[in-house]
Amino acid sequence: MSDNRNYSLVLIGVNHKTAEVEIREKLAMANSNPPALEVLSNLPHCKEVLFLSTCNRVEVLTTTDNPEAIKKAIKELWKKKGNLDDQILDKCLYIHEGEEAIRHLFRVASSLDSMVVGEPQILGQLKDAYRKASDAKTLGVVLNKLCHKAFSVAKKIRTETKIASHAVSISYAAVELAKKIFGELHGKRAMLIGAGEMAELAAQHLMANGIKKLIVANRTLSRAVDLAKSLGGTAISLEEIFDSLIDVDIVISSTGAPGIIIEKKDVARIMRPRRHQLLFFIDIAVPRDIDPAVNDIDNVYLFDIDDLKGVVELNKAEREKEALKAERMVEAEVIKFLSWMETLDVIPVIKKLQEKAEAVRQKELARSQKVLKDLTPKQKKAVEILTSSIVQKVLHDPIIYLRKESSNGSEDIHTILDITTRLFNLNGFDNNHMPIDNQNNQIHQGKNSCNNKKLKTK
């Protein structure tokens, strides 16, 4: 009888903490022909494989019957594809096996291993990697289960902690401050002064929060037009900003101007036409774009980049507290998954036992057809239910015992399974009568041709 425990989990990879982007690019195998998944799935001793490639990490997760061989094979592949020597590659790589591989995947899915803890993008990227592996049929029972568990762990952490609820970027913090001032941003009008990266990120956050109108002002009008078009806003020149201030609620300024571009007098002048409605300025430019004295005007609020940095640092500390809760949740889920893996050995034996008992029941019913032929349909159904119930009750205690011993990690489980197999003559059971368990096929059987090394999904 095959031993599922001979099939180990191995994860090997690099990320933003261990390798420069130039190295990560070389290992991503973006233009590989054949595709990366096909190349990896055809490596010797690779039973199942998932390939995750993002801007911050490149990782290969496999099940294998020979961990040392698969680690060596992946290293050799990457060394060849990336034109890297052993010393550089070994310095960058991290390798996790078994429990550590499970823990690492759960932490990655939950963004605990991300450059910005709590960011949501990595879960979508992992789901995309899963879909590609599923389409390529390189997943089997173990990685299917592991990936779905990683998704559910990430969702649970995002739901039950506040790991993603604190702004940890300047642009995001700016919008979060605006939300605190106004309560909500739905229906509000905003102006961006400057069309750089931080302004663009702030605009995206504003749009996601339902603002009604977006005006983009920039010294280079063509850049303002491009950004406004991509976001569904309106572009204006810097000379037009003072007239437009009358009609907006939020102003985020991030130009590269050498000095102040909005003076206190400019804001004071437009407050009467605004009917003194609330006006919120966020100045994330260095040097500053907006005169700090505008804060002295009634119903005008101004925050600069130092204010925002204080918010970001405070929020980072809050996220770290939430991350500790998330780490504890990950540990609990790792233990649960390890318990499930411990039961893999017992599944094929239980299934075969059930199948043999059902085959015997069907055979005995067939022998009794002469006696049963005169029964009414209702009586025949009652006999079916009765015999099926007898089989289930006879098997109940042995199956419960096998599952209990397996989940408890009994050292004698292989002896118990061997005795069960011989006691019920399961190896002698004619599989032509009833096919053996698909899970057993997925775990123990790999195809031996170019495509057939990929494990079937259930």
Q: Which residues in 287-410 belong to E strands, given as ranges? A: 300-304
Bridge partner residues of 234 (DSSP)? 215
Say how far apart CA 137 and CA 257 lie, in whole Å.
Answer: 55
Q: Are 70 and 46 in contact (CB under 8 A)?
A: yes
Say how far apart CA 227 and CA 237 lie, in whole Å.
Answer: 13
Set 55, 92, 147, 450: catalytic member: 55
Say how far apart CA 403 and CA 438 lie, in whole Å.
Answer: 19
Count CB atoms within 10 A of the CB of residue 375.
12
Q: Are 345 and 417 in contact (CB under 8 A)?
A: yes
Q: Is 55 a catalytic residue?
A: yes
Q: Strand order of the sheet with strand 213-218?
A: 234-237, 213-218, 189-193, 250-253, 279-283, 300-304
State the alpha helices, DSSP H only, in 163-250.
170-182, 197-208, 221-231, 241-244
Say how far apart CA 34 and CA 451 lie, in whole Å.
Answer: 12
Helix (H) or strand (E) holding 61: strand 57-64
Give the up-direction half-sphere exposure of residue 453: CA atoms within 13 A in the CB hemisphere.
Answer: 19
| Residues annotated as part of the active site | 55
